[in-house]
Homo-oligomer: A and B are copies of this chain.
Amino acid sequence: MSSNLDKIMKPKSIAVIGASTKEHTIGSDLMKRLQEYKFNGKIYPVNPKGGVIEGLQAYTSVLEIPGEVDLAIIVVNAKFVLDTIDQCHQKGIKGLCIITAGFKETGAEGAEAEKQLLAKVREYGMRCVGPNCLGVVNTHPDIRMDGCFAESLPERGNIGFVSQSGALGGGILNILKDLNLGFAQFISIGNQADVNAETAMEYWENEDDVEQILLYMESIQNPSNFKNLASRISKKKPILALKAGRSAAGASAASSHTGSLAGADKAANALLQQSGVIREYSLKNLFATAKVFANCPIPKGDRVAIITNSGGPGIMATDAVCEYGMQMAKISDATKEKLRSFLPSAASVKNPIDMIASAPIEHYKQTLETVIADENVDMIMVIYLPFLGLKDIDVAKAVMEIKAQYPHKPVIGVFMTKNEFFTKLSDMEVNMPFFMYAEEAADGFNRLNQQRKWMERPQGKVPCYDVDRNKVEKIIKSSIAEGRDQLTTLESIDVLQAYGIRACKYGLATNEEEVATLGNSIGYPVVMKMTSKTTSHKTDVGGVRVNIQSEEQLREEYRDLIAKLTEKGLIDGLEGVIIQEMVKGNREMVCGIATDPQYGPMMMFGLGGVFVEALKDVTFRIAPLTDQDACEMVKSVKAYKLLQGARGTKPADMAQIEETLLRLSQLVNDFKFIDELDINPLLISEKTGEGIAVDGRIKVRLNEAKEALGCECAACSC
């Protein structure tokens, strides 16, 4: 299906089906907006009653329209929509924008109607925005289409905006002018039966007019497609997203560590991060960031210089810059000398550069001109607090004049002055963003810096390791043959080993003699762990015995375990005990897989052991991982510091740990029915620095697994 939306977004002619003369109806307002905004093509109102609507001859049917029609904007009652689509097809129309509500959002009946609607759209080779949406906008001077029924006319700008909420889209149209922001194009996707955020992004990838993409989303329809598209497009133009609905209950019923820490928002967050999408958590921040991208180039680095006429805001700005981990630029000696040549002696030429309260406009110009030329400076914040006799707008103009000579360095103004100033600005051409507070400018620099880092980030590759896929198939088949969705510890470790993941040496024993023989062959110290088909959290029942130093001790612990389990009535599920190499190390990590119902398999990595759930020092990525993802995962947890080796401990083998994650990613990619997988702990060996899987748990989705592998059991119902 082509992502070309030209018929919808750049129509030469529009039919408004359901146009009306009745005030304050959508059919009336839409006609008004199209005309007020001076649509650069033909408008054909359609209304069964005919007549004149907004000064134009109305047609009683779309079929009566004499000329060709690119786009039909449909506002008729829901029950007429399907027929209307048929007529549009007859008329040869390829673009639809269905504003009419009353489909999926109303329940089962509406959903059925929407399904039929989509079937028609597909059958007729159309593209369709909506239903249940606010409309579409293209502010390009050659198009000038305001196909929305919002109160305000759209402002021209460089933003491509997709809104999943209609009312919100309208609200936004109302306030953008105040923010000095404008759209290139706007699509209210509504129920996104056909066109969704991904379609829009793909369309805008090569629209020069759209220099940044803003998304308001409540859900992501096809996460893996979204990731592919967004990670490519975000390398060319910033994508900003506000994803609402993050407090919705997650996978709270999951039984694994990974599952219980993962949640819908963790998945969305991982997805957006891996896609290079800048996530904002409020509309306010979304627009503030858009304002920055609208008027700033991407910087070369993260070194910020601050120019101010007041100490306090300079300090606050420094605080904010440092808290984002950006650097305060080291002003070069030459620059300092130059600054000293014209600034008063009470001024400070160190960053933040304090020109003191009495700084005249000339000092703003000279100082900015001097600092912006300094090669040690990547971004500049210019702070102005009102001073007697100066006009804020004059200072702003002077600053913009200098800025104009240096288009490649971002400059943000912080003008702590009256609202009037910003109102005045919104009627002017500006070449840099202005905010009221220093923290907003620091936020902006942080986003520019984030985009810079993303653009510089290597693409990464999904490696393919040589693994024993057959062995895994065999293990899982035998488990599902017994109707078990949960593999035993032994099976789990075998699966990991088949995928080349370092797990510790072990063996299974089912009686005291076997236990002793195995212990002696592995060598002490060893660990003894029960393995059971019925008890999943072994430590809770005393089923794990560590640091067993001798055969004698091993026999003793075994007898004690059997006694305890018998006492607790848990002896029946017992398969035996695993005798396992005891890896020494005090750094316990965790890694695993959880499945998000919407986003699919998700990888987790972080601090393990008893700390997992209390400290939540873990990070998530949607599978499959690239090597770059794996590397970032390892570095992004606080426990990375532990891995680096503090206080004389051996640094962990980072490459091996990353490879473990990548092999896990390959595993879940090969066996998509793996529902949950935990390696906890992945113990960092004191000796070698390797991450060694000391315990593992794997759970599959039984029905899917049966389907994928073929079921061989007589007992089950398939």
Contacts and interface: CB of A to CB of B under 8 A. Distances in A.
Contact of A282 (B149, B346, B387, B437): B437
A648 interface: yes
A610 interface: yes
Interface string A85-117: 000000000000000000000100000000000
Interface residues of A, number: 86
Interface stretch (A9-17, A319-327, A393-401, A659-667): A319-327
A389 B24 contact: yes
A68 interface: no
Contacts of A389: 24
A641 interface: yes
Interface stretch (A414-422, A470-478, A596-604, A700-708): A414-422
Interface stretch (A200-208, A242-250, A448-456): A242-250
Nearest to A322: B247
B615 A586 contact: no
A388 interface: yes
A177 B178 CA distance: 18
Contacts of A638: 614-616
A439 B282 contact: yes
Contacts of A388: 24, 29, 149, 151
B312 A539 contact: no
A561 to B, nearest CB: 15
A165 interface: yes
A547 B164 CA distance: 61
A113 to B, nearest CB: 16
A539 B282 contact: no
A360 to B, nearest CB: 12
A216 interface: yes
B247 A318 contact: yes
Contacts of A165: 310-313
Given A586-B610, A614-B638, A171 B284 contact: no
B282 A316 contact: yes
A245 B319 contact: yes
Nearest to A384: B171
Nearest to A389: B24
A198 interface: no
Contact of A175 (B164, B171, B309, B418): B418
Contacts of A611: 611, 642
B174 A312 contact: no
A165 B313 CA distance: 9
A441 B247 CA distance: 17
Interface in A275-302: 281-284
Contacts of A164: 312
A82 interface: no
A319 B218 CA distance: 12
Interface in A415-471: 416-419, 422-423, 436-440
Nearest to A642: B614
A436 B646 contact: no
A361 to B, nearest CB: 15
Given A246-B319, A311-B167, A646-B610, A174 B437 contact: no
Contacts of A357: 166-167
23 contacts: A165-B312, A167-B310, A167-B357, A171-B310, A171-B385, A171-B386, A172-B416, A244-B312, A245-B319, A246-B323, A247-B319, A281-B319, A282-B438, A282-B439, A284-B437, A539-B647, A540-B647, A610-B649, A611-B642, A614-B638, A614-B642, A615-B639, A616-B638
Given A167-B310, A177-B418, 14 more contacts: A24-B389, A29-B388, A167-B309, A167-B357, A171-B385, A174-B416, A174-B418, A175-B436, A282-B438, A283-B316, A419-B422, A539-B648, A615-B638, A616-B638
